[in-house]
Amino acid sequence: MIKEKYTNRVKEISVNIVQTDIDSVRKKDILKTGLRVYDKGYIGVAGAMGKADEEDLERRAIDNLSLKIPYPCEPSENLKMHLDYREDIFSDEEFVREADEVLKVLRDEFSDFTFSNKMYLFEMETGLTNDLGLDLLHRDRLLTVEFVIKEKASANVFDAFAIYATRQYNREELLNIIREELTAYRNPVKLPEEGKLPVVFMDFDMVPVSKLIDELNGYKLGTGASLFKDFIGEKKFNENFTFYQSAEKEDLRFIEFFDAEGVVNEGFKYALIENGRIMSPYTDKKTAHKFNLPLTGSAVGEYDKVPSLSPRYFKVKSSDKTLKELLNGKMAVAVVIASGGDFTAEGVFGTPVQLAFLTDGERLIGRLPELKLSGELYSMFGEDFIGKSKDKAFLGQQALALYLNVNYL
Amino acid sequence: MDRDIKFVKDAKPVKPGKYTVIFAPVATGVFTHESFGHKSEADFMIGDETMMKEWPIGKKVGADNLCIVDSGEILGSGFVPFDDEGTKAHKTYLIKNGILSGRLHSTITAESLKEDTTGNARALNFEFEPIVRMTNTYIEPGDKTKEELISEVKEGILIEDINHGSGMSIFTIAPKISYMIRDGKIAEPVNISVVTGNVMETLHEIDGISKEFELLSFTMGGCGKMEQFPLPVGLGGPYIRVNNVNVQ
């Protein structure tokens, strides 16, 4: 029998903001411990919050082996990695004072808008160890801002967002993102024309790549339900399009460099589509074992759950060009909020766009009316794929650019 | 399952455009929850003069036969007999006969707007503070049958099942199973990426509501509001017929 221990401790302070003012402050310090035992192809799991009695956890995990939950794979072994990405940002008191200062600036500069929701200072420590020499530890600290923005004269529930996440906080960097967005917001503009136009999305926006994530699911592909089931190894997309699973430092936001089964990919990434060629679906150990697929380290699991297949973080490989260079003199539609869109089963894409700006690749020029976008999966990442910018030219984020059909809603 | 297999085999892409659309109860429920339910959560209104002017109780906001309710008293995934501040569940009419009749409150928002509490303060779990959330949200049944709603449509779409939906000023629903309606009859299956419309305009575009009614509970997923996701809620309603819906 092999014993494995998972621990996760989260310390967080957040300020709740209402009408551009601090409404309340919340503090968390939560420890979760999970004990897994593996025996004769089965797994037993038990978990506890707070200070855990490990002997009791182990007894309960062993009892749970009787549930006969299959785990026909070997636990990870012989790997020790301790990564500490924490940087000094603020003490809790300094953080609350800083939030207050930021809100003061926003009240002065943007009296025609209100800001609400939260700012967080978040610290995590996650460990995974077992009897086979696995010893992984991830420590991280992030300051994140998630402002919901409303134009005071608007009857909408909200009109815009501002998102900022960093290990090295810079007030002016945060304010400049908001300044660029809201200055453009105040300037209504029209599309250069309706029809096929360059459209850019922020790096973390999964709307355009959601179908790829669905179809690259290892279980879906293994059972023959994926659009890509007959295309592994085949070139189906643009030569410059590479799509990979990433656990690189710059991409980690509240997740660890290892997955829930202790898998660490070489270079912290795994290419699923490389230079247009479909290489592999994403898998956890069970899925890789069942369908004889490569293991990509895509297991997710709560502290008291059996790890299972789930998407982690995916990204499109950056080009060596700036957004301005990628757009090559053309104006583009920069999408900030495109909520509710989807792909059909065969890959036809459609989404409304609640908030978009016109951009020249260097700055946002003005706010566009509500739009609708449409495209088709193989075209979007084939002949209509433009590239991903190397610079953070879209509100502090790298930008994914592709041609889509753009019309007024 | 047979329906789904046949649909996957036979469905063809829809011709984009504006259609009269009939929503099945699950689509009605998601539309109601996303498009109007969230607008009824009073924490969005605190200190906001524009919202108070735009959303006075008594304002005509929908078709005459439209009644939208939130109630934590009904068994299912939105059953909240007492909310997370200890307030007893209420049946709250958000819209009654097309008139804005109420909104959803925590104690803080009720006090702030000088309205009554409604039992809608809910927290995802011990890690979060209670905020204003829905419970079971639905449109009340009408007086037509599903067949009557369909029979009165020359060319339109029936959405029988959906993948997801969302709503701000515009609502969106991503259908899973849809059919064309031609000359009052269900015709060929069609694949649709998304249907959209302006929420406030669409509430006036509802011109038929069925007697058939279904309130649904779900074991997976739930409602998301900012950091608190997924919160179990119930939703549903009758079949509703809506004109001028944008279909992609």
Q: What is the DSSP string of A121-182?
A: EEEEEEEEEETTSEEEEEEEEEEEEEEEEEETT--SS--EEEEEEESS--HHHHHHHHHHHH
Match 């990870």 to its residue by tokens: A76
Residues A17 and A82 in one domain: yes
Quick count: other Cβ atoms within 10 Å of Cβ B50? Answer: 16
Interface test with B, best of A156, A226, A254, A349 (most B CBs within 10 A): A156
Interatomic CA distance for residues B9 and A398, integer angstroms? 39
Query: What is the reported pLDDT for B9?
Result: 82
Residues A76 and A176 in one domain: yes
CATH of the domain at A70: 3.30.2290.10
Interatomic CA distance for residues A9 and A161, integer angstroms? 29
Cross-chain Cβ contact A374/B16 below 8 Å: yes
In the sheet that A243-246 helps form, which strands lie side by side, from edge to edge?
Answer: A277-278, A269-274, A243-246, A314-316
Residues A287 and A331 in one domain: no
Residues A365 and A286 in one domain: no
Band the pLDDT of A29: cuts 50, 70, 90. very high
Question: H helices of chain B, where?
Answer: 2-10, 25-31, 49-54, 107-113, 146-151, 199-204
Residue B142 in contact with residue B65, Cβ under 8 Å? yes
Residue A403 lies in a domain: yes
Residue A151 lies in a domain: yes
Residue A190 lies in a domain: no
Residues A132 and A264 in one domain: no
Which helix H or strand E contains A96, and what residues bound it?
A: helix A92-109
Low-confidence ranges of chain B (pLDDT < 70): 168
- Token readout for A15 is 């300020």
Interatomic CA distance for residues A252 and A305, integer angstroms? 22
Q: Residue B141's domain spans which residues?
A: 2-247
Cross-chain Cβ contact B174/A341 below 8 Å: yes
- Token readout for A196 is 């096929």
Match 């309606």 to its residue by tokens: B181
Has residue A149 got a pLDDT over 70? yes
Sorted by sequence, the CB contacts under 8 Å of residue B149 that are 6+ apart come out as B22, B208, B210, B239, B241
Residue A268 lies in a domain: yes
Interface test with A, best of B33, B172, B195 (most A CBs within 10 A): B172
Residue A42 in contact with residue A56, Cβ under 8 Å? no
Give the residue from A316, A349, A364 where a domain finishes: A316
Residue A34 lies in a domain: yes
Residues A107 and A166 in one domain: yes
- Measured between CB atoms, does B129 come within 8 Å of chain A? yes
Residue A255 lies in a domain: yes
Residues A28 and A155 in one domain: yes
Residues A11 and A119 in one domain: yes
Residues A404 and A280 in one domain: no
Cβ burial of A7 (10 Å; 0-12, 13-18, 19+) is middle
Q: For A226-281, what is each residue's pLDDT tens digit?
A: 999 999 999 999 999 999 999 999 999 889 999 999 999 999 999 999 999 999 99
What is the number of structural domains in chain B? Answer: 1
Band the pLDDT of A339: cuts 50, 70, 90. confident
Q: Write the single-letter amino acid at A123.
A: E
Nearest to A155 among B51, B166, B248 (CB): B51
**Which residues are bridge partners to A103 per DSSP?**
none
Residue A261 in contact with residue A2, Cβ under 8 Å? no
Q: For the packed helices A92-109 and A171-185, what is the interaxial angle rounded to 10 degrees?
A: 30
- Which stretches of chain A sit within 8 Å of chain B by CB? 16, 18-19, 24, 26, 28, 30, 114, 117-118, 146, 148, 150, 152-158, 337, 339-346, 348-352, 354, 370, 372, 374, 409
Residue A326 lies in a domain: yes
Cβ burial of B138 (10 Å; 0-12, 13-18, 19+) is buried
Q: Residue A271's domain spans which residues?
A: 212-316
Has residue A336 got a pLDDT over 70? yes
Interface test with A, best of B52, B170, B195, B228 (most A CBs within 10 A): B170
Residues A307 and A326 in one domain: no
Cα atoms in the Cβ-side hemisphere of radius 13 Å centred on A212: 30
| Buried b / exposed e along A59-97 (16+ C-beta atoms within 10 A) | ebbbebbeeeeebebebbeeeeeebeeeeebbeeeebbe
Residues A30 and A93 in one domain: yes
Residue A347 in contact with residue A375, Cβ under 8 Å? no
Which helix H or strand E contains A55, and what residues bound it?
A: helix A54-64
Nearest to A338 by CA among A205, A197, A182, A170: A205
Query: What is the reported pLDDT for A409?
Result: 84
Q: For A113-126, what is each residue's pLDDT tens digit?
A: 999 999 999 999 99
Query: What is the reported pLDDT for B168?
Result: 67
Query: What is the reported pLDDT for B18?
Result: 95
Residues A88 and A164 in one domain: yes
Beta strands B234-247; B136-139: pairing state: parallel
What is the number of structural domains in chain A? Answer: 3
Interatomic CA distance for residues A188 and A205, integer angstroms? 24
Residue A75 lies in a domain: yes
Which helix H or strand E contains A211, and what residues bound it?
A: helix A210-215
Q: What is the DSSP letter of A235?
A: B
What is the residue-wise DSSP string for B79-109? --SB-TTSPBP-EEEEEETTEE---B--HHH
> ipTM for the complex?
0.87
Give the residue from A273, A297, A316 where a domain finishes: A316
